Amino acid sequence: MKTIYSIVYITLNAALNDKVSIGLLMSDGKDDMFRYSFDKLRALKGIIKPEKYTLAKDYLSALEKDRTADKTKFFENETFHTDWVSEPYINYLSRYSNNLIQFSEPKAIDVAFSSENFKRLFEKYIYALDPKIEEMNSDSLFEKVRFQLYPAIEKRVNLDKSLDSSHFKNLFAPIEVNFIGVNGMTIAGQAIDFHKKHHFLENDIARFVSLTKAIDLEGKKQGKYFVLGYEPEEIEKKNHFLWEQIKKSQFLEFVDVDEVDRIEAYIQENDVKPYFSE
């Protein structure tokens, strides 16, 4: 069977045909893979209107969840079958997509359908993964959280929830949290890249701490807050110091991304429910 692929775009200006590649679909008629760049989507947050950002995020997340049933992960020797992905239907989508999300016309490619070939195409057309993160983690930090943790907790929490002062009056800067739930107290978690530049890392931590304080003020009760990440190398002295401070913190709990089953177990054992009804 021939292998085809289609690039998924977010339209910035329909009149000018201004668009940004955001995801990739690959299929051989039997198995298929889809992935979108969450980091790239976040970068567009300040460019497109909030309602369009939410629509795009929900659409892409739903499409990705359909591809990741039974905790199947990309970039490993695992594939999975779905019913709707076919060349004629992708052709249809490429002609009749809405103005926000668009599929390119499917193209045949003379390579075998495989995780490795999918990765090569993804990095060529969508997003070049950080070599340092790839070397350390196999997948990026955020991809691991989404593919390893999300399927296990998605019915018990709100995922990728954008929060602002309309949700918590003492939250002064908007933030998107990886998950948030409640079981008498608030449970929330945020993946943080401890390998990024120090001032960006400080900002990420400060924003999440501000969220925890705003939530606690709202409920008059301390919640349970997880920081997911990897320990930075000791040569990254400033970043390593911040990581150590979080490890020692009394109100944040650091969880290595390779141990996210700890969070899954906590959420299951404590009967956590979604914080927001959606």
Q: Note the pLDDT tens digit of each residue in 131-150.
A: 443 443 334 678 778 888 99
Task: Convert the pLDDT of each residue in 25-35 to its tens digit.
Answer: 998 888 888 88
- Mean pLDDT score across all residues of the chain: 83
pLDDT at 215 over 70: yes
pLDDT of 216 above 80: yes
Whole-model pTM?
A: 0.56
**Residue 45 confidence (pLDDT):** 75
Which segments of the chain are extended strands (E)?
3-13, 18-27, 32-36, 101-103, 107-109, 158-163, 175-182, 186-191, 224-229, 252-256, 273-274
pLDDT for 188: 97
> Hey, what domains does the chain have and what are their CATH numbers?
3-128 (no CATH), 141-274 (3.40.1350)
- Is residue 172 within 8 A of residue 166, CB to CB? The reply is no
Confidence of residue 71 (pLDDT cuts 50, 70, 90): very low
Give the separation between CA 39 and CA 233, rounded to whole angstroms: 23
Q: Which two tokens stand for residue 225?
A: 């807050």
Residues 85-128: tens digit of each pLDDT: 778 888 888 886 557 889 999 999 999 888 788 888 998 999 87
Q: Find all residues with CB under 8 Å of 189, minimum gap 6, and list them.
A: 177, 178, 179, 180, 225, 226, 227, 228, 255, 263
Partners of 102 in beta bridges: 9
Position 78 scores a pLDDT of 34
Which amino acid is it at 53?
A: Y
